[in-house]
A and B are shown apart, each in its own frame.
Chain A
Amino acid sequence: NAGVTQTPKFRVLKTGQSMTLLCAQDMNHEYMYWYRQDPGMGLRLIHYSVGEGTTAKGEVPDGYNVSRLKKQNFLLGLESAAPSQTSVYFCASIRTPGQGTQYFGPGTRLLVL
């Protein structure tokens, strides 16, 4: 049981490049979330999923896309990276509402030049 893992841990991109961040969980959790964390801004919800094949927009979805083709994986894509997307990205999962322990991944540091 590895919990929640994120790939990669660190990445440097040039403006306009694309990339995909992978979040994987082996706990059979239904709900998965992508957040970004910037200094003084707390954790802001980008996109989330309440089950395999479903996705929904969070607070700051612009410039990002997501997919949840398999229950255990939640992918976050940046089609054309911008310096404003420099941040630390965290993935989280929870089994279902009412089953309370939630797990976070270790984070991905992204620098867009």
Chain B
Amino acid sequence: EDQVTQSPEALRLQEGESSSLNCSYTVSGLRGLFWYRQDPGKGPEFLFTLYSAGEEKEKERLKATLTKKESFLHITAPKPEDSATYLCAVLSGNTGKLIFGQGTTLQVKP
């Protein structure tokens, strides 16, 4: 069964304090692992797609990495505006399903 688990559920950081969010997955025929940012009252905003183990992508203070079992979203020197819920999802090549994890809510304090 396709499944995505994110940890931690919530994370509080001081501005400038780097950390990582985890996304563990099981999926039949991975055709992409997606990261999104969601602000309250809005739809998810696409950040990255990763396709194969060893792949890395970066955008400003965010860096996403992928292994065969999990993905990490590294946040370097975060700022208060990085506060949001970060969602991970996997696309099954066998079924076409796009399954989400529960998300990690990040709060960055000045």
Contact = CB atoms under 8 A, between A and B. Distances in A.
A43 B95 contact: no
B98 A42 contact: no
B43 A56 contact: no
Contacts of A35: 100
Interface string A79-113: 00000000000101010011011111111000000
A43 B31 contact: no
B51 A98 contact: yes
B103 interface: yes
Given A104-B43, A106-B43, A97 B100 contact: no
A48 B43 contact: no
A49 to B, nearest CB: 8
Given A42-B87, A90-B44, A101 B98 contact: no
Given A97-B32, A105-B43, A48 B97 contact: yes
Contacts of A50: 96
Given A48-B96, A104-B46, 13 more contacts: A31-B98, A40-B102, A42-B87, A43-B100, A44-B100, A45-B98, A98-B31, A98-B51, A100-B34, A100-B49, A101-B49, A105-B43, A107-B42
Interface of A: 31, 33, 35, 40-45, 48, 50, 56, 58-59, 90, 92, 94, 97-98, 100-107
- Please name the 5 residue pairs, one residue from A and one from B, whose CB atoms are nearest each other, closest first: A100-B49, A97-B31, A104-B43, A42-B102, A50-B96
Interface of B: 31-32, 34, 36, 42-46, 49, 51, 87, 89, 91, 93, 95-103
9 contacts: A42-B101, A43-B100, A45-B99, A59-B99, A97-B91, A100-B32, A100-B51, A101-B46, A101-B49
